[in-house]
Amino acid sequence: MLKKVLILLAGLVLVSGCQAQGNAPATKPALVAGQDYYLITPPQTTKGDQVVITEVFSYACPHCADFQPYAGELKSKLPKGVKFALLPAVFNAMWEPYARAFYTAQSMGLVDKTHQALFDAIHRDHEPLRTIQDLANLFYANYGASPGEFLSTATSFVIEGELAAGNQKVRDWQVDATPTLIIDGKYRVTANPERGIGFQQMVTIALQLVDQELAAKHPAKTHK
């Protein structure tokens, strides 16, 4: 009889243990500034209620090319009301034509069609696209852009202004590597192999920071 009671009690302990484990709420580990992400000082917070996440990149950067599937995953998981933006970095003279081409393509409504394609052309197909003339004649012409119009736009006052403004943002955000994710002008997320932060971890951290910002801007709403 005692043996049966002990077996029954053991079974109850096992069942209650499974239930407790199954019902325990899943909690995300708290992020640590200076380890998981970096604070931008002073913060360059965007105006209004919208949260903006920006990928700072360069078409010349092979790591940015490798990051694109993760950028796609990040965009697909962003909550409603969060904007995803792109900003080209210019760390050296060789990167400048690619930033100029991005702003030109953006002004002509071509980025959605050409963004991934240009990464592929440079890093997969190794096409000789090094100057703005190369890009206009050998790449963007394949997507309906007149080379003459593309070059004229690329050297216009408007695009010069876009370049200057973008370069200033990169400085204000203290970006020194690509790819980098900027969350609402307040947080900077980069890969850090020494701390086990790869591209997948960047996505996870960015989404957690996005939720944090949404909660701060819309405290009455719950974001999953």
pLDDT at 23 exceeding the cut of 50: no
pLDDT at 6 exceeding the cut of 50: no
pLDDT (0 to 100) of residue 224: 46
CATH H-level superfamily of 31-217? Glutaredoxin (3.40.30.10)
| pLDDT band at residue 15 under the 50/70/90 scheme | very low
The C-alpha atoms of residue 188 and residue 73 are separated, in whole angstroms, by: 18
3-state secondary structure of 164: helix
Spans of all domains in the chain: 31-217
The C-alpha atoms of residue 47 and residue 158 are separated, in whole angstroms, by: 23
Model pTM? 0.84
**CA neighbor of 28 nearest in space, from 211, 214, 217:** 211
pLDDT tens for residues 33-53?
889 999 999 988 766 778 999
pLDDT tens for residues 57-80?
999 999 999 999 999 999 999 998
Given a contact cutoff of 8 angstroms between Cβ atoms, the answer to whether 206 and 183 are in contact is yes
The C-alpha atoms of residue 97 and residue 111 are separated, in whole angstroms, by: 15
Percent of the chain past pLDDT 70, that is, above it, reads: 84
Question: In terms of residues, how long is the chain?
Answer: 224
pLDDT at 142 exceeding the cut of 60: yes
